[in-house]
Chain A
Amino acid sequence: MDSFIVISLIKIFVVFGALMTILAYLQWVERKVIAHIQVRPGPYRVGPHGLLQPLADVIKLITKEDLVPPYVNKVLYLAAPFLAITMALLSISVIPFGPAIQVAGYQTWMQLTDLNFGVLFILGVSSMGVYGIALAGWSSNNKYALLGGLRSSAQMISYELPLSLAIAAPLLISNTLSLRKLVDTQDGWLWNWNLFHGFQYVSFIIFIIAGFAETNRVPFDLPEAENELVAGFHTEYSSMKFASFFMAEYANMITVSCMATLLFLGGWVAPWPAAYGSGYVPVVIFAAAGVITIWRGLNPRRRRDRFTFPPFGVVFLIAAAVFLVPIVQSALLPLFWFCAKTGAILFLFIWIRGTLPRFRYDQLMRFAWKILFPVAMLNLLATGLVIAAFS
């Protein structure tokens, strides 16, 4: 019992620390990717290639004046960002990042806790996250904030239905609500993934679209449409309270990506069995990245590349070497596949932000209720019929 508490505390610290770092750097990645889509260099001043930009942002947000306008409803105004960030971080606690591993003689899962209704837990927690935004909009006592809060709650209620229906289809196939067992049923080859199970790519597309809407991302970011609503529901928030909403949005993005990975892309399992050499994929990728980076550093296009590229190349080569060590392989390989899949979906989020314009509000609602919802319903019905026919 005692060792259980100690291990859990250590795991919470590790996951929390990693998550906070990823949140900060996800924002850096987003700015960089969007900048390159728009043919700009992006953040470049703080640190090599702007790598210390997140740190600078954090310092800026913490030291900024924390303003509470006199006309707000104090209790709810202060509770709203807290609620948003708590609910966003809570759902990470049931997400498994890998299988059971042995650390110093203790066996533990790469997951904070396994609930046998994990999927429902995430749905419930994410549905509670709406209150953070809705109450922030209302308690700010500002018409733009109120409109932003109203839009976001209407949007989240509307898109939660297709989201839940899209989640139900792979659950029918895997026949479990536990995220851990969900991954076990997709083990082996690529075609065992729920995505490639018959016509399940329909559920995947519905899930991704509804996930974009749930996280208020472009093209569904109407709650914070700058040209109509100033900054939407967080107009009256400054400093760390604003940062909480910001972090909550990114944490929700990570949760949706993790869910897509677990439900459709086989979680932490490799696309093909280790017996056919899937264990060497990260080694090849990192070694190639290292060699290319060092070669670029030795033949620099810009003068500063000679100093910034070789250290990155060395880091990549070391990473490649680490993946060859047999002891850490059992933990690192699943983590690699999980991060690769989740990262691909996160990249999709950013890519679409750099590509698509924003919907109009009536288009958003019509799309949810007249297209996405019926399609999700039919998809679930068809999945159920197929499973009933073949079992």
Chain B
Amino acid sequence: MDLILFLVFAAIAVVAAINVVVQRHPISSAVSLIAVMGSLAVLYLLLGAEFIAAAQVIVYAGAIMVLFVFVIMLLNAGTETRAGRSFIASLLGVPVLVALLALLAFFTARIYPRGTMVHFGGFRGGTAEAVGRALFTTYLLPFEITSILILIAIVGAIVLARKELE
């Protein structure tokens, strides 16, 4: 059951991710990206990381992508024309992709021993309690620094927007 669900949603994630690049209309790409986020959330859920799955849906699929869709709708962006392919990209694209996948597979195989790759529901660090504890003990400093960074970004956005008005 877990394996079937994993395969289904992994397939949806990959197909939707390819669709993000292939589609020519920004809204279609955005909707595909929402599908990617949603299936990633299901994959987290399968591993037992329920809080991370919920955060994935609320933050990425629910908030950030709504903003994307909102901006696309506001600009009333139409269908993009496909630009000519660059020579370097068509020459190096496939080999670099294969090399990247090979590197990923190699390191995953090195770090995790054979046969212990996936434990559905076995991950215990993904509950709200575990994430909260980790954020406020082990990762307190990065957490606080990130929040200050976001605050600076918000202030910067407001300053830029005000300049535009004057």
Contact = CB atoms under 8 A, between A and B. Distances in A.
Nearest to A129: B62
A117 interface: yes
Given A116-B50, A120-B58, A177-B128, A131 B66 contact: yes
Given A150-B74, A157-B63, 4 more contacts: A76-B28, A135-B69, A146-B76, A156-B66
Interface of B: 27-28, 31, 34, 38, 41, 50-51, 54-55, 57-58, 61-63, 66-67, 69-70, 73-74, 76, 127-128
Contacts of A157: 63, 66-67, 70
A149 interface: yes
B73 A127 contact: no
Main SS class of interface, A: helix
B58 A123 contact: yes
Interface residues on A, range: 20 to 34
Contacts of A177: 128
Contacts of B27: 73, 76, 135, 138
A115 B57 CA distance: 15
A273 B73 CA distance: 54
A127 B55 CA distance: 11
Contact of A127 (B61, B69, B74): B61
A177 B51 CA distance: 10
Given A138-B73, A150-B70, A127 B54 contact: no
B31 A135 contact: yes
A130 B50 contact: no
Given A127-B58, A134-B66, A150-B73, A115 B50 contact: yes
Contacts of B50: 115-117
A226 B28 CA distance: 29
Nearest to B34: A131
Which 3 A-B residue pairs are closest in the complex by CB-CB distance?
A127-B62, A124-B57, A120-B54
A113 B28 CA distance: 33
18 contacts: A115-B50, A116-B50, A120-B55, A120-B128, A123-B58, A124-B57, A124-B58, A127-B57, A127-B58, A127-B61, A128-B61, A128-B62, A134-B66, A135-B27, A138-B73, A149-B73, A153-B66, A156-B66
Contacts of B54: 117, 120-121, 123-124
Nearest to A147: B73
Contacts, number: 74
Interface in A150-166: 150, 153-154, 156-157, 160
A137 interface: yes
Contact of B69 (A116, A124, A134, A160): A134
B70 to A, nearest CB: 5
A141 to B, nearest CB: 10
A130 B62 contact: yes
Contacts of A124: 41, 54, 57-58, 61-62
Given A117-B128, A127-B58, A153 B31 contact: no
Contacts of B128: 117, 120, 177
Given A120-B128, A177-B128, A127 B66 contact: yes
A150 to B, nearest CB: 6
Contacts of A135: 27, 31, 69
Contacts of A125: 57
A131 B73 CA distance: 12
A177 B55 CA distance: 13
A51 to B, nearest CB: 39
A328 B61 CA distance: 43
Nearest to B74: A150
A137 B62 CA distance: 17
Contacts of B73: 134, 137-138, 146, 149-150, 153
B59 to A, nearest CB: 9
Nearest to B50: A117
Interface in A288-307: none
A2 B22 CA distance: 44
A127 B58 CA distance: 6
